[in-house]
Amino acid sequence: AQSVAQPEDQVNVAEGNPLTVKCTYSVSGNPYLFWYVQYPNRGLQFLLKYITGDNLVKGSYGFEAEFNKSQTSFHLKKPSALVSDSALYFCAVRDKNFGNEKLTFGTGTRLTIIP
């Protein structure tokens, strides 16, 4: 079984400060990990993914995420937050086992950037 935990329902950050949105995962094998963002009344947009290789992954809009196998974490980060980053963020995991087509999502973290 695979699962994702996003321990914070809400994160508030002042504009210009660094931001972190936390994600931990559980899979039986090696993971594929993803971050998606959802703006109000919109579908989910892909931000970045970890497949293999470098543990630091860079994605859209200046976001990056660090894969930590020992802590089973994949936290989303950005050095300097913008008000336009305010949205709902979802972490997702898929086990690399062959034939596993399903993606499991966390419950989401609402990020609010305060001007």
Task: Indicate whether 103 belongs to the interface with other proteins (CB under 8 A).
Answer: yes
| Stretch of residues binding other proteins (CB under 8 A), selected from 18-26, 62-70, 73-81, 102-110 | 102-110
DSSP secondary structure letter of residue 55: S
Instruction: Give which of 31, 34, 44, 42 is closest to 96, Cα–Cα.
Output: 31
DSSP secondary structure letter of residue 84: G
| CA-based torsion, 57, 63, 69, 72: positive or negative | negative
Task: Indicate whether 52 belongs to the interface with other proteins (CB under 8 A).
Answer: no
* Residue number with CB closer to other proteins (17 or 46): 46
| Stretch of residues binding other proteins (CB under 8 A), selected from 14-22, 64-72, 77-85, 99-107 | 99-107
